[in-house]
Amino acid sequence: MGEDIWILGIHMTKFGKRPESDIVDLAAEAALGALADGGVTMADMGVLAAGNLVNAASGVGQMLQKQIGQTGIPVYNVVNACATGATALRTAIMAVRAGECDMGLAVGVEKLAGAGLLAGGSRKEDSPTWEPHGRQGAVAPLDGRVGTEIMPGVFAQIGMEYAHTYGGADFELFARISEKNHMHSTLNPLAAYNKAMSLEQIMGDVMIAYPNTRPMCSANCDGAAAAVVISDAKLRTLSVEQRRRAVKVSASVLTSDPWQEGCQVLPDVNTLTRDAAQQAYETAGVGPEDLDLVELHDCFATAELVHYDNLMLCEQGGAVDFFESGAPFRDGSMPVNVSGGLQSKGHPIGATGIANIWEVCHHLRGEAGDRQIDGARVGLAHVIGLGSACGVHILEKAAA
């Protein structure tokens, strides 16, 4: 890894419907918040990495600079599916580690409130029927109708494949995972949804792609998150308080799918996550047993189950037993998604990777409020984007 890299400041906006703010406003809110949290300014930054998916072509990084300070530094506009935010952070980390600068800013932002699942068609207001149109209309995916080309169907298949292979997972168990995350969200004031849902409510809601009902799916919303990264040498020149609150980046890993015959048909979210986790543990010099909390990419309830296994929080094939043991609950031995996860916290795609890290950082700092995991010293943040990309970061509490 070379010289240690630290997160000096970090900030996350309230997730949800933010009609009063455009994408630059949200990014600026997060960026200025992270700078203030670290006790530094834009003039101290040597690089800016801006992650955004939907408006990527517009150059969000340069637009953000115009609002918070144009200092002539290099700007990287990053796009990497749902791993966009984590990739932006890794870009800033690599620039600092390479010695190009001693501080960098990473921002992830998205406006997705009201975004739907289908493309290439529309539903008339007076008709329940979806009608294809346009250049791609005839071949557009009809997820939930006749195909599983987009995310709900893909992750439904992934969950059912795990259930078929190892047994023990059924509709109710997947719903109980979602019930856990909605319960956790009641303690997170920045989550898009802050309400508990009963098992009956979750199982009885609209079925999106079996076995995931609507509450078991990640919530499209608006939001942003940002982080300031700093070299170890530069951190040593700052105040005692700044050093105390800094969080060490013990591992920053990004992987993609290795070629396999099966993944040409169904994306293999398991292999690239397991590869990333293995690399991260080796780099950080820790194992899954050393983690005090995990924020993983629960884009669907089925995804959370398989990632217990992929992140090696349990033995291979043991995800059901791991959940049944109570380990991933906030008061369990390995708390998972105490933020409420993507199903409650929300999933503004470009922001999610940094938002997961924001959650872990606050526990390591002892600043997570009512949902604080007592004594947390090591945490893992995970995101996965189909296309494919997986980011895993392992973070550690400052010794000082």
pLDDT score of 41: 98
pLDDT score of 259: 86
pLDDT score of 147: 44
pLDDT score of 2: 61
| Residue 352 domain flag | yes
pLDDT score of 126: 57
| Residue 273 domain flag | yes
| Residue 119 domain flag | no
**Could you report the average pLDDT of every consecutive run of 10 residues in the chain (400 residues)?**
87 95 96 98 98 87 96 97 97 97 98 63 52 62 51 89 95 98 97 96 94 93 97 97 97 93 77 97 98 97 98 98 98 98 96 98 97 97 92 90
- In angstroms, the CA 211 to CA 47 distance is 43
pLDDT score of 303: 97
pLDDT score of 265: 67
> Among 392, 145, 185, which residue's Cα sits nearest to residue 272?
392
- What is the CATH classification number for the domain harbouring 269? 3.40.47.10
Q: What is the pTM of this model?
A: 0.91
Which amino acid belongs to residue 87? T
| Residue 350 domain flag | yes
| Residue 105 domain flag | yes
Evaluate whether 108 touches 354 at the Cβ level (below 8 Å): yes
pLDDT score of 145: 44
Count the domains in the chain: 1
pLDDT score of 398: 86
- In angstroms, the CA 305 to CA 298 distance is 8
Domain containing 332 equals 5-114+220-397
Which amino acid belongs to residue 365? R
pLDDT score of 116: 58
**Residues with a known catalytic role:** 82, 347
| Residue 276 domain flag | yes
Residue 53's contacts (CB-CB under 8 Å, 6 or more residues apart) are 79, 81, 84, 110, 349, 350
Q: Residue 395's beta-bridge partner residues?
A: 249, 379
| Residue 128 domain flag | no
| Residue 232 domain flag | yes
Evaluate whether 78 touches 91 at the Cβ level (below 8 Å): yes
pLDDT score of 138: 63
